[in-house]
Amino acid sequence: MFDLTGKNALITGASGGIGGDIARALHDAGATVGLSGTRVEPLQALADELGERAHVLPCNLGDAEAVAALPKQAADAMGSVDILVNNAGITRDNLFMRMSDDEWQSVIDVNLTATAKLCKGVLRGMMKARWGRIINISSVVGATGNPGQANYAASKAGMVGMTKSLAYEVASRGITANAVAPGFITTAMTDKLTDDQKSGILGQVPAGRMGEPAEIAAAVLYLASPEAGYVTGTTLHVNGGMAML
Amino acid sequence: MSDVADRVKKIVVEHLGVEEDKVAENASFIDDLGADSLDTVELVMAFEEEFGIEIPDDAAETIQTFGDAVKFISEAS
């Protein structure tokens, strides 16, 4: 349905469940994909699965120098970065009153600061091309909050505010910036939840089930498409109705 | 007029879509030539490419007029 032939997409966190499916969806639509993540093996496995038009670009987003270098590495490998998907994210959960400075800072560094730096790093090329798509993967908890996740929720809410501001600034140049806010999706991150926690969560989800990574990827594919050119500064909530925002 | 000034003027005329005679020494990109703040960022990007130089952000902020641009680039290149 959506054609991304000739577009080059950089996806962070591509070794994870959601990031992997985002890469598959963009690649299926014809895009060349740059797969970034900290673990090389799963990235290489995904690149092998996708075949042509896939590049492995390892990067630890907790390392400021590596973050600064990634946009250029991606542009060198693919020719340009037309689509940026900031999907990588970490959690370091703790009660707010017990949360260490390190738990706070590391989550803000990876989820928010690295996202901002990557956006900045790809904008120059997008401005010149008069076309670009920035899609930041936020979270439902950025809008609703979640006990034990003050750092994560702050980072994800921060992404939304940043995305909107950026969307204002570059809209006149054919560049859109949007966020996708997943609810509870079956991934390694949610596998860590206990069965009790899961059933508690599902009680709040009108759809009565967890979401699938492919359902997040579909939202990203839409926002990356030429057809979504008039959609900017928005947050697309994909959460089975658990928060109707 | 110097070669640098000619090349800078050409970029300004093309990018902002203004008449060449409006691009005077003291013409402000924003106040006189109709640029918005994002245009000034793009102008600096274009200067960097044309002249193969790097213009740091703090220096870019001081380039307000056509004359500022010519002066900065002449000194940098």
Numbered residues of the known binding site of A for NADP(+): 38, 87, 152-156, 185
**B38:A172 CB<8 A:** yes
The ipTM assigned to this model is 0.81
Mean pLDDT of B1-26: 92
A87 Cβ neighbours under 8 A, 6+ residues apart: A11, A12, A13, A14, A16, A18, A19, A22, A137
Biggest alpha carbon–alpha carbon distance for chain A: 51
User: What is the count of residue pairs from A and B with beta carbons less than 8 Å apart?
Assistant: 10
pTM of the model: 0.93
Q: In this model, does residue B70 exceed pLDDT 70?
A: yes
Task: Assign residue B12 the CATH number of its domain.
Answer: 1.10.1200.10
Q: Which residues of B touch A128 (CB under 8 A)?
A: 45
Give the per-residue pLDDT at A1. 82
Number of structural domains in chain B: 1
Q: Is residue A171 within 8 angstroms of chain B, CB to CB? A: no
- For residue A173, the distance in angstroms to the closest alpha carbon of chain B comes to 9
Min Cα distance A219 → chain B (Å) is: 29
Single-letter code of the amino acid located at A17: G
Q: How many residues does this entry show for chain A? A: 245
Q: Does A117 touch chain B (CB under 8 A)?
A: no
Does residue B54 belong to the interface with chain A, where contact is any CB pair within 8 Å? no
Helical pair A213-224 and A17-28, crossing angle rounded to 10 deg: 40
Q: Are A4 and A227 in contact (CB under 8 A)?
A: no
For residue B18, the enclosing domain spans 1-76
Give me the pLDDT at residue A191, please.
84
CATH number for the segment(s) A8-238: 3.40.50.720
> What tens-digit pLDDT sequence spans chain A (245 residues)?
899 999 999 999 999 999 999 999 999 999 999 999 999 999 999 999 999 999 999 999 999 999 999 999 999 999 999 999 999 999 999 999 999 999 999 999 999 999 999 999 999 999 999 999 999 999 999 999 999 999 999 999 999 999 999 999 999 999 999 999 999 999 887 888 888 888 888 999 999 999 999 999 999 999 999 999 999 999 999 999 999 99
Of the candidates A2, A1, A11, the residue with the CA atom closest to the CA atom of residue A53: A11
Beta carbons of A173 and B45 less than 8 Å apart? no
User: For an interface test with B, which of A72, A128, A130 has the most B Cβ atoms less than 10 Å from its Cβ?
Assistant: A128
A152: annotated active-site residue: yes
B45–chain A Cβ distance below 8 A for any pair: yes
Interface membership of A92 toward B (CB under 8 Å)? no
The amino acid at residue A216 is I
The pLDDT value recorded for residue B2 is: 76
Annotated catalytic residue within B6, B32, B36, B68:
B36
pLDDT tens, position by position, B18-53: 999 999 999 999 999 999 999 999 999 999 999 999
DSSP B4-55: HHHHHHHHHHHHHT--GGG--TT-BTTTTT---HHHHHHHHHHHHHHHT---
B41 and chain A in contact, CB less than 8 A = yes
Q: Is A128 in Cβ contact with B45 (below 8 Å)? A: yes
Residue B1 has pLDDT above 60, yes or no: no
Q: Label the pairing between strands A8-11 and A83-86.
A: parallel
So what's the pLDDT on residue A176?
98
Q: Give, in order, the Cα–Cα distances in Å from A98 to each of A110, A145, A155.
A: 20, 17, 18
